[in-house]
């Protein structure tokens, strides 16, 4: 072969090879393009079967799996017979950690089987239902299908803390503003003029603003996690010398400032456990009739002393028997004018027993923090009035 012919042959071979490589790259690109989602799922650690399940979903649902921070554990959920709503099992289990896997799967599958279609006709889509699950149980959400109200018609009620889905028709009938409708229909006894028609459990007892009284209870198990000993003089027979940290520090500051003016405050009672409150309650019922006793001592589970935010004060003059009761002392007069500056309110004031449901207790203060204490003081409100104006700032559920 001549040299030139050889070169010609070589360059032809080179062009052919380049052409093959280009074709190969093109094919690879096309393959990646059409399997990009599968590749992404593979990178996230999903096996072939899990990939197939996810890929059989619609685009929006696939995106949820792709955007999910981490990997959903299909194998774990497959230990329970299920209908492959893996994303929701994982989502719901993170919201309700106390529920078993069996219950999670049962509730989600039932939701899709029985309620999803009806809810979508009422304009609740899945992302919206998931948002609602943060506040409402699946059982509550499924109750929305008992009515023909669309999401648009009830969304302003659903946003209110403490909204009870089964009361929604009454909210609408009341024609009141959403907050007022929810509070007056579901919680009329915030104002103790009204009868208690349901029992509620406060699910966030550590919240500083919770209202507890007849009808609004906290768990008997609740013990605040940040109790500390209050560093002020303590009445001789007092064994309850702890409060939550912020309340204890505020009380110490109040004590110090009062002392500078020659007022001698003394702690009479701070945190009391559920069992201690129960003992006290039972004791009052042995010495008084039921009506008197229930106005004098809180039902176990409704005492601010169990919150670690309720304080009974007295003064040195009472201890020394120069004064009969704290309400007659100079210290009391100073406390009435100044407690709010430290974050305390006079919880059961004179002339407000009807709304609080508790007899005048000049000695009992409640810690709510400075901002709220000032608002309550400026308006001469009770905690009940504050809730009626602002609603619940915490989660609450019907017993």
Footprint on this chain of Zn ion (rule: CB under 5 A): 312, 364
Question: How near is the Cβ of 92 to Zn ion at its closest, in Å?
Answer: 41
Based on CB atoms, which residue is closest to Zn ion, 272 or 323? 272
Based on CB atoms, which residue is closest to Zn ion, 51 or 356? 356
- The answer to whether the beta carbons of residues 226 and 245 sit under 8 Å apart is yes
Question: How near is the Cβ of 203 to Zn ion at its closest, in Å?
Answer: 24
Question: How near is the Cβ of 296 to Zn ion at its closest, in Å?
Answer: 10
- The answer to whether the beta carbons of residues 342 and 377 sit under 8 Å apart is no
Question: How near is the Cβ of 272 to Zn ion at its closest, in Å?
Answer: 9
Based on CB atoms, which residue is closest to Zn ion, 360 or 397? 360
Question: How near is the Cβ of 213 to Zn ion at its closest, in Å?
Answer: 13
> Angle 173-179-182 (CA atoms, 0-180°, nearest 5)?
50
Based on CB atoms, which residue is closest to Zn ion, 112 or 222? 222
Structure tokens at 339: 């407690």
Question: How near is the Cβ of 277 to Zn ion at its closest, in Å?
Answer: 10
Based on CB atoms, which residue is closest to Zn ion, 119 or 280? 280
> Which residue's entry shows tokens 């198990």?
221
User: CA 366 to CA 211: how far, in whole Å?
Assistant: 11
Q: Give the residue nearest to Zn ion (CB).
A: 364
Based on CB atoms, which residue is closest to Zn ion, 213 or 364? 364
Question: How near is the Cβ of 298 to Zn ion at its closest, in Å?
Answer: 8
Based on CB atoms, which residue is closest to Zn ion, 109 or 312? 312
Question: How near is the Cβ of 305 to Zn ion at its closest, in Å?
Answer: 6
Based on CB atoms, which residue is closest to Zn ion, 92 or 326? 326
Question: How near is the Cβ of 303 to Zn ion at its closest, in Å?
Answer: 7
Based on CB atoms, which residue is closest to Zn ion, 362 or 391? 362
Enumerate residues 6+ apart whose C-beta is below 8 A from 128: 151
Question: How near is the Cβ of 396 to Zn ion at its closest, in Å?
Answer: 23
Based on CB atoms, which residue is closest to Zn ion, 163 or 267? 267
Report the relative pairing of strands 242-244 and 265-269 from DSSP bridges: unpaired
């Amino acid at each position: 072969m001549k040299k030139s012919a050889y070169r010609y042959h070589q360059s032809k071979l080179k062009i052919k090879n380049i052409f093959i490589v280009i074709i190969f790259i093109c094919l690879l690109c096309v393959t990646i393009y059409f399997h990009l989602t599968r590749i992404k799922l593979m990178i996230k650690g999903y096996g072939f079967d899990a990939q197939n399940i996810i890929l059989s979903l619609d685009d929006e649902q696939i995106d949820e799996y792709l955007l999910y921070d981490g990997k959903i554990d299909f194998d774990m959920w497959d230990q329970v017979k299920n209908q492959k709503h893996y994303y929701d099992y994982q989502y719901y289990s993170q919201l309700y950690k106390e529920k078993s896997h069996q219950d999670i799967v049962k509730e989600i599958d039932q939701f899709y089987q029985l309620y999803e279609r009806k809810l979508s006709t009422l304009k609740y889509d899945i992302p919206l239902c998931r948002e609602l699950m943060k506040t409402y149980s699946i059982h509550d959400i499924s109750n929305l299908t008992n009515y023909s109200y669309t999401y648009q018609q009830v969304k302003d009620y659903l946003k209110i803390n403490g909204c009870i889905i089964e009361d929604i028709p009454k909210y609408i009938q009341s024609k009141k503003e959403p907050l007022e409708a929810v509070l007056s229909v579901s919680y009329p006894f915030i104002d103790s003029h009204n009868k208690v028609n349901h029992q509620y459990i406060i699910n966030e007892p550590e919240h500083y603003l919770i209202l507890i009284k007849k009808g609004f209870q906290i768990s008997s198990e609740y013990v605040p996690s940040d109790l500390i000993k209050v560093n002020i003089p303590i009445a001789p027979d007092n064994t309850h010398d702890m409060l939550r940290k912020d309340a204890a520090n505020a009380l110490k500051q109040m004590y110090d400032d009062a002392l500078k003016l020659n007022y001698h405050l003394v702690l009479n009672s701070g945190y009391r456990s559920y069992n201690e409150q129960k003992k006290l309650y039972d004791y009052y019922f042995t010495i008084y009739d039921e009506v008197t006793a229930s106005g004098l001592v809180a039902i176990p589970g409704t005492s601010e002393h169990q919150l670690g935010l309720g304080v009974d004060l007295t003064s040195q003059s009472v201890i020394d028997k120069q004064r009969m009761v704290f309400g007659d002392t100079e210290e009391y007069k100073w406390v009435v004018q100044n407690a709010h500056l430290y974050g305390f309110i006079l919880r059961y004031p004179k002339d407000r027993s009807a709304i609080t449901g508790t007899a005048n207790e000049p000695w009992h203060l409640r810690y709510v923090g400075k901002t709220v204490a000032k608002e309550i003081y400026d308006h001469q409100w009770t905690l009940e009035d504050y809730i009626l104006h602002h609603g619940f700032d915490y989660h609450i559920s019907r017993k």
